A and B are shown apart, each in its own frame.
Chain A
């Protein structure tokens, strides 16, 4: 039996609770990273659609650089690369890297959703005397945010999984916890299965919350349905 099934399933259950703290750290990095990403994404999206050429160029460069390089490299640049200038501890390094990495993707999500609002909306708003700023605030952005929610949801789930890269700079999150317990107990597979289950629980929870929000926003509206 041992030969065909070399793993100790009971360990998965007994050790499962000892990952709780690490899971909370994963959750912390993810939510903080998403928060930074949302702010950065919103600001850079507005810069990207602005008529100010230098600001536009700054936003484009940021998006180009961040999307064209690996997150792991970005993390190393912030944690190792910057040490000579400022030594940032692992935990904030992970949040900054995850935040600015996601910021670039979120900026594109926001830009896309803003640009998807028909130009007639801006014209109607301006034609009743609203300023550009007011029209953005009252008419364009509320509609754009709604449209951004499904792609943002996907991005949040990617961010959650990407937070595992923080294990490489010694943030005691889920994956690092799994590797440490694995090597100390020689039960690698068991520990990694626990890590997998935690990630699945977290992504499922996130999916659930996102669905709830989506339902709430579309309630009372006509939805695509099967038509005979």
Chain B
């Protein structure tokens, strides 16, 4: 479904991605873990060109995405992104946030988009907040709106960059539940997360990144229970000690 080939990216003298290959199959859930600064966010951001890779290719359904506005905007409409800090549009109500993409990008009629948005809000359990502004919501509610906003574009893949890291611990569950529902529906997803228990539960494939490289990958049982790379062992130990 989405494949990247030899993605490289540097900021100044810092090589952040040193040639990443990644293949996300249809209905597959790929969880990416790794220490802070290892390049996880940069990788996700390169997949939808929020960062322009220095080198490498991105394919969606076998088609190479060329670095022109047409291809990139087309890719972004099909690859959803959920950010750590939500980035809801504060000047729009919750419902308007969810409608914005369909109306402005897909040119779907307003009343149709409103109906679809309302259904998505119901799905994430926020029907009662449709007419509120984002600042009135809790972090967990904001992130659920952000997921609905992404879903409204009917993406083929969603990229999650630490969707629960900015949340108070008691709000993590409600967001995880929504992602878990998506997993059950067969949504294709790439998720960067530090919630190992959740990764173990939903992941088909776990990718471990360190210093801009993939150092280990495999099914969760293998990576979490029998990690082969010493850096993976060290990282997992650290996470479990927290």
Interface residues of A (CB under 8 A from B): 118, 120-121, 123-131, 134, 138-139, 142-143, 146, 220-222
Which of B86-94, B114-122, B186-194 is near enough to bind chain A? Answer: B86-94
B85 touches A142 (CB 8 A): no
Which residue from B69, B87, B89, B135 sits with its C-beta under 8 Å from A131?
A: B69
Once A123-B83, A128-B76 are accepted as A-B contacts, the answer to whether A221 and B101 lie under 8 Å apart by CB is no
Q: How far is the CB of B68 from chain A (nearest CB, A)?
A: 12
Once A138-B104, A143-B91 are accepted as A-B contacts, the answer to whether A128 and B77 lie under 8 Å apart by CB is yes
What's the Cα separation between A127 and B100 when bound, in Å?
A: 12
B89 touches A124 (CB 8 A): yes
Q: Decide yes or no whether B125 CB sits under 8 A from chain A.
A: no
B105 touches A129 (CB 8 A): yes
Which residue from B74, B90, B91, B153 sits with its C-beta under 8 Å from A128?
A: B153
What's the Cα separation between A124 and B100 when bound, in Å?
A: 11
A128 touches B105 (CB 8 A): yes
Q: When A and B form their complex, what is the total count of cross-chain residue pairs whose Cβ atoms lie within 8 Å?
A: 61
Once A120-B83, A134-B104, A221-B133 are accepted as A-B contacts, the answer to whether A126 and B50 lie under 8 Å apart by CB is yes
A220 touches B153 (CB 8 A): no
Q: Which of B80, B89, B135 has the largest count of A CB atoms less than 10 A from its CB?
A: B89
What's the Cα separation between A220 and B91 when bound, in Å?
A: 12
A128 touches B149 (CB 8 A): yes
Q: Decide yes or no whether B81 CB sits under 8 A from chain A.
A: yes
B153 touches A142 (CB 8 A): no
Chosen A-B contacts, 14 in total, with CB atoms closer than 8 Å, are A120-B85, A121-B87, A124-B87, A124-B146, A127-B50, A128-B76, A129-B74, A129-B101, A129-B106, A129-B153, A131-B69, A134-B104, A138-B100, A139-B89
Q: Decide yes or no whether B141 CB sits under 8 A from chain A.
A: no
Known: A126-B76, A129-B76, A129-B153. 14 other contacts (CB 8 A): A120-B85, A121-B87, A121-B89, A124-B81, A124-B83, A126-B50, A127-B150, A128-B100, A128-B105, A128-B153, A129-B77, A129-B105, A143-B91, A221-B133
Interface size, B (range): 20 to 34
What's the Cα separation between A15 and B195 when bound, in Å?
A: 79
- Specify which chain A residues have a CB less than 8 angstroms from the CB of B88 in the assembled complex: 124
Q: How far is the CB of B3 from chain A (nearest CB, A)?
A: 19
Q: How far is the CB of A124 from chain B (nearest CB, A)?
A: 4
What's the Cα separation between A121 and B83 when bound, in Å?
A: 11
A127 touches B80 (CB 8 A): yes
Convert B131-163 into 0s and 1s, putting 1 for each residue whose CB lies closer than 8 angstroms to a CB of A.
Answer: 001010000000000100110010000000000
* Chain A residue with the shortest CB-CB distance to B50: A123
B:63-111 near A, CB below 8 Å: 69, 73-74, 76-77, 80-81, 83, 85, 87-91, 100-101, 104-106
Q: Which of B76, B133, B135, B146 has the largest count of A CB atoms less than 10 A from its CB?
A: B76
B101 touches A143 (CB 8 A): no
What's the Cα separation between A123 and B89 when bound, in Å?
A: 11
B73 touches A131 (CB 8 A): yes
- Specify which chain B residues have a CB less than 8 angstroms from the CB of A120 in the assembled complex: 83, 85, 87
Q: How far is the CB of A185 from chain B (nearest CB, A)?
A: 55
Q: Decide yes or no whether B8 CB sits under 8 A from chain A.
A: no
A130 touches B104 (CB 8 A): yes
Q: How far is the CB of B102 from chain A (nearest CB, A)?
A: 9
- Specify which chain B residues have a CB less than 8 angstroms from the CB of A123 in the assembled complex: 50, 81, 83, 87
- Specify which chain A residues have a CB less than 8 angstroms from the CB of B76 in the assembled complex: 126-129
Q: Decide yes or no whether B48 CB sits under 8 A from chain A.
A: yes
Q: How far is the CB of A120 from chain B (nearest CB, A)?
A: 4
What's the Cα separation between A131 and B87 when bound, in Å?
A: 17
- Specify which chain A residues have a CB less than 8 angstroms from the CB of B146 in the assembled complex: 124
What's the Cα separation between A211 and B185 when bound, in Å?
A: 51
Q: Which of B48, B50, B87, B150 has the largest count of A CB atoms less than 10 A from its CB?
A: B87
What's the Cα separation between A144 and B48 when bound, in Å?
A: 26
Q: Which of B73, B85, B153 has the largest count of A CB atoms less than 10 A from its CB?
A: B73
Q: How far is the CB of A34 from chain B (nearest CB, A)?
A: 24
What's the Cα separation between A134 and B90 when bound, in Å?
A: 17
- Specify which chain B residues have a CB less than 8 angstroms from the CB of A128 in the assembled complex: 76-77, 80, 100-101, 105, 149-150, 153
Q: How far is the CB of A50 from chain B (nearest CB, A)?
A: 15
What's the Cα separation between A124 and B48 when bound, in Å?
A: 11
- Specify which chain B residues have a CB less than 8 angstroms from the CB of A139 in the assembled complex: 89
